[in-house]
């Protein structure tokens, strides 16, 4: 997975060249992890490029900021428009990944942020392919259960998509890759299954689909919610409950979900083959329904796809 970046970034109300979107080395977020962010995909569709659940993602950004008492100095709709603006400014007509972030900037270096502490907001967009590899979407990936657990309830709020939370994810993912796996799965503090380093997890036993509940220290993903709704449309019931680690090895199918991972099958856990060791039929049904939203084969009855209206694009360095 390579990262080439883009040409322009929306930052604090202006569109600036990519290399000029900088923060001070003494920014609060750099030292203490005080940022909240989102990841949003734009897909190529028969009706032109469409952002997937953009409004829902931006609402979660504001929800995460509320939990951390981080005042975003823009309205939600202003940032939705800015997301669309920066995709168009970078001429990303065939799909894009959008990364909005709000962070405590350069001010008092003390640990506890002050009400007047400055908050910077930036939105970048670039081309980004399959997070766990294009082959993984069809063939599946090999994963392991990490030695690192997710944070306990009432320590760091798992429901907030905050930068500091991802120190846990870095440990899980890095350990997995050192051991030769594509990704790691973390357990909750009670020893039951939580989620992947940056993905939610679904486990299938026969025709029963199970996923850990919000009480398992997970981020309740927007793609997770999408899959649950699509599964219901097809006729499956998704059960949210605790999942013992050992039951992973007995699953018939398993897959990750996430904005970056989309729907990625899992073919083995801890070198134990899952089902037939390849993408299963229910996983494929859900993938077809999900990607069908962008090809037009699945009805977008929830209006999850948002067109990129053409707002005026500020000149680099302008307002």
Q: Which residue has the tokens 């080439």?
A: 4
The C-alpha atoms of residue 201 and residue 211 are separated, in whole angstroms, by 6
DSSP label at residue 124: E
Q: What is the DSSP string of 125-159?
A: EE----TT-TTHHHH-EEEEE-SSPPPPTTTS-TT
pLDDT tens per residue, range 223-281: 999 999 999 999 999 999 999 999 999 999 999 999 999 999 999 999 999 999 999 99
C-beta separation of 263 from 255 below 8 A: yes
Q: How confident is the model at residue 6, as a pLDDT?
A: 81
Q: Could you tell me if 160 and 26 are in contact, meaning their C-beta atoms sit under 8 angstroms apart?
A: no
- Which three-class secondary structure string do you get for 39-89? CEEEEEECCEEEEECHHHHHHHHHHHHHHCCCCCCCCHHHHHHHHHHHHHH
Helices 222-234 and 54-67 sit at what angle, rounded to 10 degrees?
130
| pLDDT at res. 122 | 98
Which CATH fold topology does 8-126 show?
D-amino Acid Aminotransferase; Chain A, domain 1 (3.30.470)
Catalytic residues: 161
Q: Six-digit token pair at 117?
A: 């502490």
Q: How many angstroms separate the CA atoms of 220 and 236, rounded?
A: 20
Residues 211, 169: contact at Cβ < 8 Å?
no
11 three-class SS: strand
Residue located via tokens 């005042």: 71
- By C-alpha distance, which of 256, 254, 259, 261 is closest to 279? 254
> Class of the 136-279 domain?
alpha beta
CA distance 241 to 91: 43
Other CB atoms within 10 Å distance of the CB of residue 245: 14
Residue 188 · residue 153 · CB < 8 Å: no
How far apart, in whole angstroms, are the C-alpha atoms of residue 126 and residue 266? 27
Paired tokens of 258: 């996430």
pLDDT in tens, the chain (319 residues): 446 778 999 999 999 999 999 999 999 999 999 999 999 999 999 999 999 999 999 999 999 999 999 999 999 999 999 999 999 999 998 889 999 999 999 988 889 887 778 999 999 999 987 666 678 888 999 999 999 999 998 999 999 999 999 999 999 999 999 999 999 999 999 999 999 999 999 999 999 999 999 999 999 999 999 999 999 999 999 999 999 999 999 999 999 999 999 999 999 999 999 999 999 999 999 999 999 999 999 999 999 999 997 554 443 443 3
Q: How far apart are CA 262 and CA 30, in angstroms?
A: 29
Contact by Cβ (8 Å): 227, 286:
yes
Name the residue ranges covered by the structural domains of the chain.
8-126, 136-279
Rounded CA gap, 125 and 122, in Å? 10
Which token pair is 34? 């005080």
């Amino acid at each position: 997975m390579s990262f080439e970046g883009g040409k322009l970034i929306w930052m604090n109300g202006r569109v600036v060249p990519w290399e000029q979107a900088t923060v001070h080395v003494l920014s609060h977020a750099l030292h203490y992890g005080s940022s909240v962010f989102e990841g949003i995909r734009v897909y190529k569709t028969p009706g032109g490029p469409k952002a997937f659940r953009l409004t829902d993602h931006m609402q979660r950004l504001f929800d995460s900021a509320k939990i951390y008492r981080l005042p975003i100095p823009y309205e939600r709709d202003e940032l939705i428009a800015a997301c669309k603006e920066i995709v168009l400014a970078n001429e990303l007509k065939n799909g894009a990944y959008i990364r909005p972030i709000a962070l405590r900037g350069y001010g008092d270096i003390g640990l506890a942020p002050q009400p007047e502490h400055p908050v910077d907001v930036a939105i970048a967009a670039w081309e980004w392919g399959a997070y766990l590899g294009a082959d993984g979407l069809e063939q599946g990936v090999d994963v392991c259960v990490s030695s690192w657990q997710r944070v306990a309830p009432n320590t760091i709020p798992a429901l907030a998509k905050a930068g500091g939370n991802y120190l846990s994810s870095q440990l899980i993912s890095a350990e997995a890759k050192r051991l030769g796996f594509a990704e790691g799965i973390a357990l909750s503090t009670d020893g039951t299954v939580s989620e992947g380093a940056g993905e939610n997890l679904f486990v299938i036993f026969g025709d029963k689909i199970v996923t850990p509940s919000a009480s398992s220290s997970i981020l309740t993903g927007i793609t997770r919610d999408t899959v649950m709704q699509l599964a219901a449309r097809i006729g499956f019931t998704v059960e949210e409950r605790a999942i013992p680690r050992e039951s992973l090895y007995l699953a018939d199918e398993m897959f990750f979900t996430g904005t970056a991972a989309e729907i990625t099958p899992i073919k083995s856990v801890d070198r134990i083959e899952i089902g037939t060791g390849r993408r299963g039929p229910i996983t494929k049904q859900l993938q077809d329904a999900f990607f069908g939203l962008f090809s037009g084969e699945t009805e977008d009855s929830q209006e999850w796809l948002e067109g990129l209206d053409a707002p005026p694009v500020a000149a680099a360095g302008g307002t």
